[in-house]
Structure 1
Amino acid sequence: MSVLIAYCTCPDAASADVMARALVAERLAACVSEMPGVRSTYRWEGRVEHGNEVLLMIKTTREQLDALTARVRALHPYELPELIAVEAVGGLAPYLDWVVEQTRDDD
């Protein structure tokens, strides 16, 4: 089973907290780290925008990615939320096993 780290930016701490709690409670993520103070620069609707955001680092598995993506789209206040997942190619084996265990839907 592949462990992934998904990155998602949120406009504020409140929306980041709602998303983090829901993803963990629903076993779509084992852990979500919230990193405030991210400054993003991006092009949107033909203009260059700047904004302060909270970055979520979501630890999940490849098997949960589709469900996690759907949940992020449902919860996120942005019209087009950022969600990028990368594979964890290494790490502490017991931690990676824990991520897999916490995202299993076998309760």
Structure 2
Amino acid sequence: MPYVVTENCIACKHMDCVEACPVDCFYEGRSMLVIHPVECIDCGICEPVCPVDAIKPGTEPGVEAWLELNRVYADKWPNITSKGTPPADASAMDGVPGKLARFFSAEPGEGS
């Protein structure tokens, strides 16, 4: 089961995970990153490097909707292979509740 990016990445988007990933399975949206579930090799390297604890194993209870969101947008957004600059207010957005409804954007990011 692949790893999955969850709500706390929204508006934080630190991208440390991108540099750690050995298979380049991250895709960039305007407000968050997602993991392509078919490309992910389940190595888990990305999980501990995420400074906002937004990456979870796909087997963790409660991440099913996030697994689907990752699957859908990994096919729409550009691949990202190098760390970019996180939003200026990323630290302030860590742990803010309700980010999916308030800050999620379906628009693609720039990729790299």
Q: Shorter-chain TM-score category?
A: 0.3 to 0.5
TM-score by length of 2: 0.35
Bigger helix fraction: 1
Bigger strand fraction: 1
Structure 1 or 2, whichever has the larger Rg, is: 1
TM-score by length of 1: 0.36
